[in-house]
Amino acid sequence: MVTIRLTRRGAKNSPFYHVVVTDSRKRQGGLSLENVGFFNPVARKAEPRLKLNLARIEYWIGKGAKQSDRVKTLVSDYRKQATQAAA
C-alpha cells in the first residue's frame, strides 16, 4: 500500500520533516516515490513552517494512497491557511 507520511531529517534537537509518498513496507528513512512538501516545527520568524503540494497529494490520494494521522492534520491546516490567505 502507498502511504503519505513524514520522514525526519535535521540535526539533534532541531527536527525537520519531509512529507513523502512511499510504500508502507519500506522503512521510515528509505527510498520514497515522491517528496510532496516539508514541515518545520521549530521554524523561526521568517522561515516557512509548512509547505505542501496539494495537487500532488490529491493525485496520490486519488490513486489510493493513505495519509498518516499527522499528515491529515497538516493538510487540513494548510488548506485553512490557503483559504484565509486567498480571502
Q: What pTM, to 2 d.p., does this model score?
A: 0.88
In three state form, how does the secondary structure of the chain look?
CEEEEEEEEEECCEEEEEEEEEECCCCCCCCCCEEEEEECCCCCCCCCCEEECHHHHHHHHHCCCEECHHHHHHHHHHHHHHHHHHC
pLDDT in tens, the chain (87 residues): 999 999 999 889 999 999 999 998 887 777 889 999 999 999 888 999 999 999 999 999 999 999 999 999 999 999 998 888 876
**pLDDT recorded at residue 86:** 76
* Segments forming the whole domain that contains residue 27: 2-86
**pLDDT recorded at residue 83:** 86
Question: Which CATH number fits the domain that encloses residue 78?
Answer: 3.30.1320.10
Domains identified in the chain, total number: 1
**pLDDT recorded at residue 3:** 95
